[in-house]
Chain A
């Protein structure tokens, strides 16, 4: 079945340093959609980015990700972390049915 791997459970960074959160996936569906959802404390999870196009960079709110089907990866990046980026980040895979498969999430903690 479909699966999503987020290896890092916790990433701690100093403000101003670059962010990279890893996401790899497995699916047999060739037209899969990949998503990044962000969950701030005391808020609802919400969509940050999505893509289904191979090798195309997608950007939103200072974050960007590129879907690489050859390596089954969709890593989330940002050039300079801000304190307000502290949150739980989920990578998710949408395949041939109506369901999303979420990774276990990566907690990003940005310190001054």
Chain B
């Protein structure tokens, strides 16, 4: 069974503060993704990566950075958190390209920026 874990599961941050969301997968998958989920917008891709030490911009990358230090770990960094970044964030992994293969999602991190 594929396994993707995220930490923390929930976080409250202050506006202007730095937030780091972590994702770990034990699937031996090459591809990892960060999405945000908002009511009325669905799942939107922020950043993704297909190899360690390299990241790619997704559809809504502004205000976010990503880091892939190893195949197993993928972090999402909010350098200056803003109210508009309050959302639920999901990490996912997939074998090969996620456009053709199943993506396995983590449990999500609920981020509230005050």
Contact = CB atoms under 8 A, between A and B. Distances in A.
Interface residues of A, number: 24
Interface residues of B, number: 26
A45 B41 contact: no
B38 to A, nearest CB: 9
Interface stretch (A12-20, A62-70, A77-85, A90-98): A90-98
B40 A94 contact: no
Given A104-B42, A105-B42, A44 B97 contact: no
Contacts of B107: 43-44
Contacts of B103: 47, 100
A28 to B, nearest CB: 14
Given A45-B43, A45-B105, A46-B105, A99 B100 contact: no
A99 B48 contact: yes
A97 B97 contact: yes
A13 B107 CA distance: 27
Contact of A99 (B58, B90, B104): B58
Contact of B102 (A47, A95, A101, A102): A47
Contacts of A104: 40-42
A80 to B, nearest CB: 26
A6 B48 CA distance: 24
A45 B90 contact: yes
A12 B103 CA distance: 28
A83 to B, nearest CB: 22
Given A92-B43, A100-B103, A102-B35, 5 more contacts: A45-B90, A90-B42, A99-B33, A100-B98, A100-B99
Shortest 3 CB-CB distances between A and B: which pairs? Answer: A94-B99, A98-B97, A104-B42
17 contacts: A33-B100, A44-B90, A44-B107, A44-B108, A45-B90, A47-B102, A90-B43, A96-B99, A97-B97, A97-B99, A98-B97, A99-B48, A100-B99, A102-B42, A103-B42, A104-B41, A105-B43
